[in-house]
């Protein structure tokens, strides 16, 4: 965000922030449960209406933010989840 704020060419633009490596919601859920050491996930099939709207797999196209401000991800999914869990555990009184 700081790079975007400090780059004139970024003014008024919309950027995708993500990773060029696809991760499913299932992979994310499994990672969170494993890293947190608690919780569980349950597969809930889409209703026919939802399935008709679902675009399928999605991978963020980060070429624009990389070109305009030079940003690219440097943190693997699991490492980011580890840091996120650690942060919320440390600051839980502010969130729960």
CATH (domain of 54): 3.90.25
Dihedral in degrees, nearest 10, Cα atoms 77, 78, 80, 84: 130
Distance CA 15, CA 66 (A): 9
pLDDT in tens, the chain (96 residues): 899 999 999 999 999 888 878 888 888 899 999 999 999 999 888 888 888 887 676 778 899 999 999 999 999 889 999 999 999 999 999 988
Q: Is the pTM of this model over 0.75?
A: no
Q: How many other β-carbons are positioned within 10 Å of the β-carbon of residue 43?
A: 7
Domain count along the chain: 1
Structural domain that includes position 82:
2-94
- Would you state the pLDDT for residue 89? 95
Sign, CA dihedral 53-57-63-11, equals positive
Residue-level pLDDT at 80: 93
CB 78 within 8 A of CB 35: yes
């Amino acid at each position: 965000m700081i790079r975007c704020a400090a780059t004139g060419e970024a003014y008024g633009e919309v950027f995708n922030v993500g990773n060029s490596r696809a991760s499913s919601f299932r992979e994310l859920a499994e990672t969170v449960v494993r890293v947190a050491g608690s919780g569980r996930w349950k597969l809930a099939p889409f209703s026919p209406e939802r399935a008709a709207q679902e675009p399928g797999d999605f991978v963020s196209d980060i070429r624009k933010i990389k070109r305009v401000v030079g940003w690219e991800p440097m943190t693997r999914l699991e490492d980011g989840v580890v840091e996120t869990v650690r942060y919320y555990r440390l600051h839980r009184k502010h969130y729960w």
